[in-house]
Structure 1
Amino acid sequence: MGGFIPTGKEPAPIAMARDRQIRAMLAVCTAILATTALYFAGSVFAPITFAVFILAIVWPLQKVLQQWMPKGIALFITLALTAIVVVVFASIVVWALSAIAVWMQNNLQRFQTLYVQMTDWFEEHGIFVAGVIAERFNAVWLLRMFQQVAIRLNQLAGFGVLVFIFLMLELMEMDQIRRRIASLDQANGPALIEAAAEIAAKFRRYMLVRTQLSVLTGLLVWAFALLTGIEPAAGWGMLAFALNYIPFIGPFVATILPALFAMAQLDTWQAVVLVVVGLTLIQFLIGNYLEPVVAGAALAISPLAVVFAVFFWGFLWGITGAFIGVPIMISVISLCARYPSTRWFATLLSGTGTETASGK
């Protein structure tokens, strides 16, 4: 009788294939478990991650100050300046939303008239959804939506306190952390310090570029709203400035909301179309043409990766996750580009060559 007699050993190709399958399954299971942990423990991981992101931006300031004054004073100045920037940014957002909400509250009749006109148009064309829409959407509902947004922004104050505490602790222990990393073996210690420095530099570059483009977007939207007569023009400009820090979602919201208000303020549909086209053109030109030129190849990320990062981290941690999603993606690309086994993944996410993805 012939046949295969097992010897207890598998051929090398079969063993390697099975090993790859096991590694892939373990990687998928690890990713699922990690995502679950990040979701349910977001109240802890989100402020820590956000604090690390801010740490990468403000650490050079404290490092320079420590050369001229005691560490405690340098820490106080760094935290004070950081808090001032955050408060100013939050004040801009709150002022913009308040200006828009106040204008809307004073002009509720315009939205109610627009609502009636729209429902009549639907009924004239045989679209009998007006009753359903009436139960869920009206001018008062839109005002309540703005109020809910303001409440959510106030709730972020608690998140900001946690971030501030974590940031303070991280700044206090930064020197000790660097020494601990440097004390590791020669293969890992210097490599980790170099990778952290590279990622921090990219974070600072990202925020500089994002701030420049946000200021430009806010000015253009304000000028366009002022030119076309969409009130309140200053509110729309400041809101566009703040929302531009959240890629994809922010520019979309900064286009849709003024367009909705334009429908209640302008007399002709041609003027409304002009507003929609103008706002879309502003966002498109800045996001698709100017941003790649200003950011450079070192921060180049695939548009698909940007959308995934914003929605994925926004799903996990809300608006803070959407804000920090792209920086997290930048760090993932930088880390993957440093190792030959994962360099292909960095190349796919960055949409550039391997050398560019690694920042070299």
Structure 2
Amino acid sequence: MEATKRIYIFLIIVTLVMVLIYAQGIIIPFILAILFLFLIRVIRNILSKIKYVGRLPQWVLTIISSVLLLTFLVFTVEMISQNIQQLSKTLPVYEANVNKITNSISQQFNVDLSSLLSDFADELNFGGILSKIFSTLTGLFGDAFMVFLYLIFLLLEEPILPKKVKAMYPDQKSYNRINGLIKKIDKSVSNYIAVKTLVSLITGMLSYFVLLIIGVDAPLFWSFLIFVLNFIPSIGSLIATLFPTIFAMLQFGDITPAILVLAIVGAIQLIMGNLVEPRIMGTSLNISPLVVFLTLALWGVMWGVTGMLLSVPITVIIIIIMSEFPDTRPIAVLLSQQGKINKKEEK
């Protein structure tokens, strides 16, 4: 029986992975809609605390929150498109500066980089690099209609869900358990999204002013890239810093602006990521750093950059659900940060 059970579990896991890979066109828009729902709820909670505005009915606050989020997304996409066009016009300048940078480094460090990098420089296609970056970003909004459709139904379903859960679990004990599970998922994911969005937004804004002062082309595009990539744990902030650094060097044909971008934007990333974010977020997510890295790689392989962005919220939900069932509770403990999965154990 035990061997049969393990075979069934293995087959279920394999089937689930296959579905996640081949049905990602349906699943990813749905998950994005759920995350947008959490963002709308965060905005709605903020509005509810404002004097006079908080007195409005909840459905009115939901509409206002949805309009604010949608306006922000449309404005962002429009501004990014304009910045991409600006960058595209200056690509010949970037390509011409490659040799200039190579000669400058060769003279300063007495190394013949011209022969070493000649083939590499000839093969560099900055237009292709730029288009790949843009396609990755716009890919998140590529299924905008599906995400919007899912979001509408989720918003319509939200006020009815408690009644459905109550009808599904008429027993008070079972209802309290399921209701508690839903609240734990809601709180953990909402806190993560709210804090991560706030920290990433501040990081992007500070980086924007730095890039603007230094004179880097399309600072809004790079600051938005920093904002998005900050949602990817561990490596996101590193990649977000390297991109504008490299393009600053190519734009000016000099290494000094690149060093300034690397130093200042890197310092902002370190301060926000290692000092500000942990103080605000604390250890509420309760995920092992090793698990964060492994899930980042796993979801990245299955869903690419989008999977990396969604890896932490998905892992949080999985840990919370697993912690509620005796058979999967040991796995939740293993995935947790300190082997503690509820407040009772921490005492």
Same fold at TM > 0.5? yes
> Partner of 1:47 in structure 2?
29
TM-score normalised by structure 1 residue count: 0.76
Change (3 A) 1:356 1:226: farther
Question: Contact 1:93–1:239 at 8 Å: present in 2 too?
Answer: no
SS at match of 2:233: coil
> Partner of 1:108 in structure 2?
91
Q: How many residues of Structure 1 are paired with residues of Structure 2 in the alignment? A: 334
- The answer to whether residue 211 in structure 2 is matched with residue 228 in structure 1 is no
> Partner of 1:313 in structure 2?
299
> Partner of 1:38 in structure 2?
20
SS at match of 2:143: helix
Change (3 A) 1:144 1:232: closer
> Partner of 1:15 in structure 2?
none
CA shift, 1:261, in A, is: 1.4
Aligned 1:184-333 pairs, distance under 5 A: 185-186=171-172, 188-248=174-234, 250-266=236-252, 268-333=254-319
| Cα distance in 2 between the residues matched to 1:90 and 1:336 | 37
Of 201-210 and 346-355, more deviation after overlay is shown by 346-355
TM-score normalised by structure 2 residue count: 0.78
CA shift, 1:50, in A, is: 3.5
> Partner of 2:72 in structure 1?
88
Change (3 A) 1:259 1:144: same
- The answer to whether residue 70 in structure 2 is matched with residue 98 in structure 1 is no
Question: Contact 1:337–1:358 at 8 Å: present in 2 too?
Answer: no
CA shift, 1:191, in A, is: 0.9
CA shift, 1:207, in A, is: 1.7
Letter in 1 for 2:331: F
Change (3 A) 1:35 1:357: farther
Identity %: 24
SS at match of 2:216: coil
Of 225-234 and 324-333, more deviation after overlay is shown by 225-234
Structure with higher Rg: it is: 1
| Cα distance in 2 between the residues matched to 1:248 and 1:166 | 34
Change (3 A) 1:270 1:56: closer
Change (3 A) 1:154 1:190: closer
Deviation by residue 1:205-263 (Cα, 9 ceiling, x = unmatched):
11221122112211321233234332333443343234323434542342122012111
> Partner of 1:160 in structure 2?
147
Deviation by residue 1:254-288 (Cα, 9 ceiling, x = unmatched):
21220121112345435423422433332233223
> Partner of 2:51 in structure 1?
none
Q: Among residues 134, 156, 159, which one is paired with 2:122 in the alignment?
A: 134
Q: Which runs of 4+ in 1 moved over 6 A?
A: 118-123, 357-360
Aligned 1:67-78 pairs, distance under 5 A: 74-75=58-59, 77-78=61-62
Higher-RCO chain (CA-CA 8 Å, sequence separation at least 6) = 2
Change (3 A) 1:176 1:151: same
When the two chains are superposed, the root-mean-square deviation of aligned CA atoms in Å is: 3.7
Change (3 A) 1:321 1:78: farther
Of 234-243 and 145-154, more deviation after overlay is shown by 145-154
CA shift, 1:165, in A, is: 3.6
| Cα distance in 1 between the residues matched to 2:331 and 2:312 | 16
| Cα distance in 2 between the residues matched to 1:75 and 1:166 | 14
| Cα distance in 1 between the residues matched to 2:16 and 2:22 | 10
| Cα distance in 2 between the residues matched to 1:250 and 1:204 | 21
Deviation by residue 1:13-68 (Cα, 9 ceiling, x = unmatched):
xxxxx82x544443232211111112222233333333344445556859x8xx98
Deviation by residue 1:155-213 (Cα, 9 ceiling, x = unmatched):
23233233324324422632432322332x45533211110011101122112211221
CA shift, 1:118, in A, is: 6.4
SS at match of 2:217: coil
